[in-house]
Chains A and B, each alone.
Chain A
Amino acid sequence: MKRTTEQPAIEVTDLRKVYHKRGSMPVEALKGISFTVRRGEIFGLLGPNGAGKTTAIKILTTLLRPTSGSARILDRDVVQHPLEARRAMCAVMQDNAVEMFLSVQNNFRVYGRFHGMSGADISRQSSRVTEIFGLQDVLNMKGSELSGGQKRRVQVAKTFLVDKPVVFLDEATTGMDSFNKRETLEAIKHEASRGRTIVLTTHILEEAEELCDSLAIVNHGRIIASGSTQEVKSSSLRLITVTLTFNRVTSGVLRKLERLKPHKIAHTEDTIDVQVRSESVAMDVLNSVRSMRGFRHFEVAAASLEDVFMDIVDRQERAGDT
């Protein structure tokens, strides 16, 4: 476990945001969300497109004022003391925000200056982040000449150039190829291990599962689950997937498994995926097949965040709570 101190880095209380646009109905993008992020932790704000993640980040980074509710960054209220709050943070917003007319090198220089760094510090830190993000080849290219993924890397690199305690990353890995993505995720982990607090949004659950210490799942402007990544995964009904491999799947095996009332069952010619809601049912599944002819081996896996997310959303929508 990572070291985290008691006083929270971020406190969000009952945040609401209603967008008013002329000629269309008001949109309630956030319907009262609350969460706490501890210092030094990687916190994920997850949810499908339109859930309200970007709206929340915009309020936290002082771009938008909330309709009601409050948010504090290291004990500085983002509405009452926006400048103080901004002094504690740096952010990658959802657009590919780089200076189009400036070289990557000058992007770093300008960004560093805005965050109060000296010229010497900027040089030292830019070599460091250039190395980490593999930007040597594009250092002299202008922002307008970069691909989407490269712009994204430059953006994330900028936030690691400055040493601000709180970092916001809104969909930071969008448009990166898997190689760049891997390096970026590693860099994010490394920065967090140095004690920085990182808040990221994503709709890619594997990413969150790999990175986040804790998270909140947002849907239609509400938090539908939150806690440590482990807690969230197990708070929903426990979902365990047992994968059984046979020489050939027969209807007899399937009938036998159906009798155990699994949550879900799916099969191919030689494998069966059985999703169950408790460890004891998982044991029953294994017991009932282990002495069967043609059974070769099994694998037990905890549910992925994706499964959990679908499960929670399913149940909520069935309950009409949207």
Chain B
Amino acid sequence: MKGLFPVLYRDYVMRTTSPLWLFFDLVVPVMYLLMFGVGFNSALGLGIELEGRSLSYNEFFLAGVISMACFGLAMNQSYGFFVDRDSGIFYETLTYPITRGEFLLGKIIFQCILAVIQTALSLAAAAWILGVNIPSSSLVYLGVGILIVTSGWFFTFASLAFLMRRTDTFNTVINVAYFVLMFVSSMFYPIDRLPSAFRVLSYANPVTWHTDVFRWALTGVGSTESALVQAAAFFIFSLIAFRVALWALSRAVE
């Protein structure tokens, strides 16, 4: 497992010397939280009725922001993989004296560390700036959740980066996926009052599954059973993505 350290070191050097990466990896979700929070929270006044509970928009949106953090990190990482393949450094890395497993695991661990930092930043901003109450019982669920969610999306988007050859195709797919997966989900608004086609699509979207679980942990909205089902569904989704990513990595080299 010694081979993990250089993988982490490389990504660390990259973030600390390129402010752009750091910005996208750490700041974007918090900015969403603060800007949407201030805007929508005052615009919506009384807040959001959800399953018989009334939540302020800030309370509602915090789960979405944490989802966005994990999801966005995985997406940035896949962009990184694509750039590295394009420059050839990706292939060179595979000739270094580390195992493929250490390579992938190192990447995931780094993403998970960033996800933990981002979540901490978002929770701190929510609690201290927006005055959202964060129950301490939710922290364990959030902790385990962000590790699984970050990994699941990491495998999904890494597979795209490993399989696609053309920059324009990759950029298009990534941008469309980013937009559709985030907006056709429960990340920004409750989906139970959406038009039915939209609602069905949103329920089929893994982003909805983990956002609902995070929301359940943070606000208590929704039943424990449905949170369990959604958590299990996302876990299975992650396992499948993991298998696909391994296959895609072997294909990437050919």
Interface check A95, CB cutoff 8 A: yes
Interface check B254, CB cutoff 8 A: yes
| CB of A170 to closest CB in B, whole Å | 11
Contact A63 B91 (CB under 8 A): yes
Question: Residues of B contacting A116 with CB < 8 Å?
Answer: 2, 97
Contact B14 A102 (CB under 8 A): yes
Contact A97 B17 (CB under 8 A): no
| CB of B92 to closest CB in A, whole Å | 4
Contact A101 B17 (CB under 8 A): yes
Q: How far is the CA of A94 from the CA of B92 in the complex (A)?
A: 10
Interface check B95, CB cutoff 8 A: yes
Count A/B pairs, Cβ under 8 Å: 79
Could you say which of A83, A86, A95, A106 contacts B17, with CB atoms under 8 Å apart?
A106
B66-100 residues at the A interface, CB under 8 angstroms: 83, 87-89, 91-99
Question: Residues of A contacting B88 with CB < 8 Å?
Answer: 93-97
Q: Is the interface of B mostly helix, strand, loop or mixed?
A: helix
Interface check B1, CB cutoff 8 A: no
Contact A87 B97 (CB under 8 A): yes
Chain A's interface size range is 20 to 34
Knowing A96-B88, A114-B10, the reply to whether A63 touches B97 (Cβ < 8 A) is no
Q: How far is the CA of A110 from the CA of B6 in the complex (A)?
A: 7
Contact B17 A102 (CB under 8 A): yes
Question: Residues of B contacting A96 with CB < 8 Å?
Answer: 87-88
Contact B253 A113 (CB under 8 A): no
B87-126 residues at the A interface, CB under 8 angstroms: 87-89, 91-99
Q: How far is the CA of A185 from the CA of B102 in the complex (A)?
A: 35
Interface check A90, CB cutoff 8 A: yes
Q: How far is the CA of A110 from the CA of B99 in the complex (A)?
A: 17
| CB of A308 to closest CB in B, whole Å | 32
Contact B95 A62 (CB under 8 A): yes
Contact B98 A110 (CB under 8 A): no
Contact B21 A101 (CB under 8 A): yes
A80-100 residues at the B interface, CB under 8 angstroms: 83, 86-87, 89-100
Could you say which of A83, A91, A97, A113 contacts B9, with CB atoms under 8 Å apart?
A113
Q: Which of B2, B93, B94, B96 has the most CB of A within 10 A?
A: B96
Q: Which of B6, B93, B99 has the most CB of A within 10 A?
A: B6
Question: Residues of B contacting A110 with CB < 8 Å?
Answer: 6, 9-10, 13
Write out, one digit per residue, whether chain B residues 1-25 have a CB within 8 A of any chain A CB (1) or not (0): 0100110011001100110010000
Contact A98 B91 (CB under 8 A): no
Q: Which of B2, B18, B92, B98 has the most CB of A within 10 A?
A: B92
Q: Which of A19, A99, A106 has the most CB of B within 10 A?
A: A99
| CB of A95 to closest CB in B, whole Å | 3
Contact B10 A113 (CB under 8 A): yes
Q: How far is the CA of A106 from the CA of B88 in the complex (A)?
A: 17
Question: Residues of A contacting B5 with CB < 8 Å?
Answer: 113
Contact A86 B96 (CB under 8 A): yes
Question: Residues of A contacting B253 with CB < 8 Å?
Answer: 58, 63-64
Question: Residues of B contacting A102 with CB < 8 Å?
Answer: 13-14, 17
Question: Residues of B contacting A97 with CB < 8 Å?
Answer: 87-89, 91-92
| CB of B22 to closest CB in A, whole Å | 11
Interface check A72, CB cutoff 8 A: no
Question: Residues of A contacting B17 with CB < 8 Å?
Answer: 101-103, 106
Question: Residues of B contacting A93 with CB < 8 Å?
Answer: 88, 91-92, 95
| CB of B14 to closest CB in A, whole Å | 5
Contact A101 B14 (CB under 8 A): yes
Question: Residues of A contacting B13 with CB < 8 Å?
Answer: 102, 106, 109-110
Write out, one digit per residue, whether chain A residues 252-290 have a CB within 8 A of any chain B CB (1) or not (0): 000000000000000000000000000000000000000
Question: Residues of B contacting A100 with CB < 8 Å?
Answer: 83, 87, 89
Contact A95 B87 (CB under 8 A): yes
Q: Which of B5, B10, B95 has the most CB of A within 10 A?
A: B95
Interface check A130, CB cutoff 8 A: no
Question: Residues of B contacting A115 with CB < 8 Å?
Answer: 96-97
| CB of B83 to closest CB in A, whole Å | 6
Question: Residues of A contacting B99 with CB < 8 Å?
Answer: 83
Known A-B contacts: A93-B92, A98-B89, A114-B93. Give 7 more (CB < 8 A): A19-B254, A63-B94, A96-B87, A100-B87, A100-B89, A106-B17, A116-B2
A-B residue pairs, 9 tightest by C-beta: A95-B88, A97-B88, A97-B92, A113-B6, A114-B96, A114-B6, A87-B97, A61-B95, A97-B89
- A-B contacts, 22 listed (Cβ < 8 Å): A63-B253, A64-B253, A90-B95, A91-B92, A95-B88, A95-B92, A97-B88, A98-B87, A99-B14, A100-B87, A100-B89, A101-B14, A102-B13, A102-B14, A106-B17, A110-B13, A113-B6, A113-B10, A114-B96, A114-B97, A115-B96, A116-B97
